[in-house]
Amino acid sequence: MTTSSPASCTPSSETAAGVRIGIDVGGTKARAVALDAAGVVLAHSELPSGRGADEVLATVRTTIERLAAASPDPVESVGIGIPGTIDFDRGVVSHAVNLGIDELDLAAGIADLEVGRVSVDNDVNAAALGAFQLLGGGVSSLAYLNVGTGIAAGLVLGGELWHGFRGVSGEVGHLGGYGDLLCPCGQIGCLETIASGAGLARSTLGTTHPVISLTAAVAADDPIAIEILARVAGGVADAAETLFLVVGVDLVVLGGGVVHGTPQLAPAVGRILDERAAASPFLASLSLSERLTVAPVDLDIAAMGAAFL
Amino acid sequence: MTTSSPASCTPSSETAAGVRIGIDVGGTKARAVALDAAGVVLAHSELPSGRGADEVLATVRTTIERLAAASPDPVESVGIGIPGTIDFDRGVVSHAVNLGIDELDLAAGIADLEVGRVSVDNDVNAAALGAFQLLGGGVSSLAYLNVGTGIAAGLVLGGELWHGFRGVSGEVGHLGGYGDLLCPCGQIGCLETIASGAGLARSTLGTTHPVISLTAAVAADDPIAIEILARVAGGVADAAETLFLVVGVDLVVLGGGVVHGTPQLAPAVGRILDERAAASPFLASLSLSERLTVAPVDLDIAAMGAAFL
């Protein structure tokens, strides 16, 4: 774990609101920030997430304790972004397969820490809110399209996180028409079977590190790798186009392990959107590729977003 | 034109708000309602829409004058739903191809009638708002999916009409992957080329009345007609699924000429969603077909919605 405090802390005053902690519990690491009332970062934290409900809870508790100790004011709220199915009202996460969690009552598990309001949300939603705070200047809506193990988007509409019916929105990964592979969801040919880390692992280049091998093979002009990249980019372009045309967001922010691990991907998505616009005055009028951006890999958008949950 | 007033009108009082007029300018008819402050219909109107900017404006003016004359209180607002590209701020419609309108400044054209606030919006958006008012009890969001000449949805999110970037949202008609026909938008294989009235007119059953001939041919067990219906229903099911999974609406309301003219269509869409749910626990958990409904053909949802613009 690393914690860092700025050289000079603003002294606490009676009018200052408290500190907000945001934690992004990823598949391997839990990254976190403590923000002051103005949104300035007071301290960072990074710990291995651990595996299973007990270890993940211990990680979250240690993160909060260390960030609270590094903060000059009392903690006013804790927001946690985590993969899985979230019960927003109760602060409970379930079916977080990558973390080995069946069910974990995060809100109850940290209640004794007295950290004010606790909010738990999906990690992609937290990243969408973070992207809106950090990258969304001048827009009122955006989608954060995460291409990681799966492919899904978090939506910020009119400045607010939009959850949709039973928390389901932005689920582009299960739109169909993409070949004949069986998706873990039970359908055939979901977008996720071709345009995701899991989809890449099933491709002809599949290894235990599919993104790294694709990147290297494309760089080496391997024709199969170039074809696979084009297929992934076409699927991501379809997802982005759906978010632009059907949800009508101002901006689509690309992120996730496959996007950051395959630097050729995002430019290829932009080129595909431009090719489609060249054929269609309707699409051209919407300037899709200009409204597509990549989340900077060094910005903790998910942890920052969690702090604003 | 028909105007009707209820047998006993509530006398105007100082506390009552004024009358709201809602007008739905369709390709052939302009249907309208006048509502009192409680949303009760005071009078109906129906006139031929006319063709070209001058005739359509004359129709709108006559509609307002007759409904105002049939209303006991002053008119507080006029809302107009009309096909085409809408400048919401100025109240101007352009590119309304089916009405023969290049550009029509509706707000300026009725300014002298002194009818309070004037709002102009897309006809599908007006219908979405009307569906929300009339059918949306207990939900916070819905999509009105109109299958008429084209296929597109209007969105009500969190109780408010959602326009999206430059007024573009709900544009399911230009999602791709549907064969090799050229769409008027310039792309190949848009959903609209198969799942719309224009798409049906291009099918092997195409006549000047494609919906009527499809309905009759399906009823007569014509195998080609049954195949075409299945293809249209599959496309509409894809559109509904996109609205459920990506936008995350509570409810999808089907409407439009193809839906009402082909009574076999909506049940076929529901069956397809059920078949997909049978293969996918994820989809089954979302009860999609139970959240799909058809707008009653006798409800003026577009005119009612226009009154609430």
CB-CB neighbours of A120 under 10 Å: 28
Given a cut of 80, whether residue B12 has pLDDT beyond it is no
**Min distance B58 CA to chain A CA atoms (Å):** 31
Residue type, A188: I
Q: What band does A8 get if pLDDT is binned at 50, 70 and 90? A: very low
Backbone angles phi, psi at B239, to 5 degrees: -60, -45
Spell out the long-range contacts of B52-57 with Cβ–Cβ below 8 A and sequence spacing 24 or more.
Answer: B52/B99, B52/B100, B52/B101, B53/B100, B53/B101, B53/B102, B53/B103, B53/B104, B56/B25, B56/B30, B56/B82, B56/B96, B56/B99, B56/B101, B56/B104, B57/B104, B57/B106, B57/B109, B57/B110
Regarding predicted confidence, which is higher, B52 or B6? B52
pLDDT tens sequence across A248-294? 999 999 999 999 999 999 999 999 999 999 999 999 999 999 999 99
User: How far is CA B122 from its chain centroid?
Assistant: 8
Place of tokens 């431009």: A274
Q: What is the pLDDT of residue B205?
A: 66
Q: What is the pLDDT of residue B14?
A: 41
**Min distance A54 CA to chain B CA atoms (Å):** 27
Q: Is B289 on the interface with A (CB under 8 A)?
A: no
Q: Could you tell me the domains of chain B?
A: 19-115 (3.30.420.40), 139-294 (3.30.420.40)
Q: For all residues of chain A together, what is the average pLDDT?
A: 90
Cα distance between residue B20 and residue B18, in whole Å: 7
**Are residues A57 and A107 in contact, defined by beta-carbon separation less than 8 angstroms?**
no
In this complex, which of A157, A168, A188 lies closest to B162 when CB atoms are compared?
A157
- Contact state of A162 with B248 under an 8 Å Cβ cutoff: yes
Q: Is A244 on the interface with B (CB under 8 A)?
A: yes
Torsion over CA: A245, A250, A254, A256 (sign): negative
Q: What band does B35 get if pLDDT is binned at 50, 70 and 90? A: very high
E strands within chain B? 19-25, 29-35, 41-48, 75-82, 85-87, 92-96, 101-105, 117-122, 141-147, 151-157, 160-162, 251-255, 292-294
Radius of gyration of chain B (CA): 20
Chain A contact set for B172 (CB, 8 A): 245-246
pLDDT tens sequence across B183-234? 988 999 999 999 998 888 887 665 666 777 888 889 889 888 899 999 999 9
Q: Which ipTM was obtained for this model? A: 0.90
User: How far is CA A242 from its chain centroid?
Assistant: 18
Which chain A residue is nearest to residue B291, measuring alpha carbons?
A165
Cα distance between residue B105 and residue A188, in whole Å: 49
Q: What is the pLDDT of residue A13?
A: 41
Q: What is the pLDDT of residue B102?
A: 92
- Contact state of A281 with B185 under an 8 Å Cβ cutoff: yes
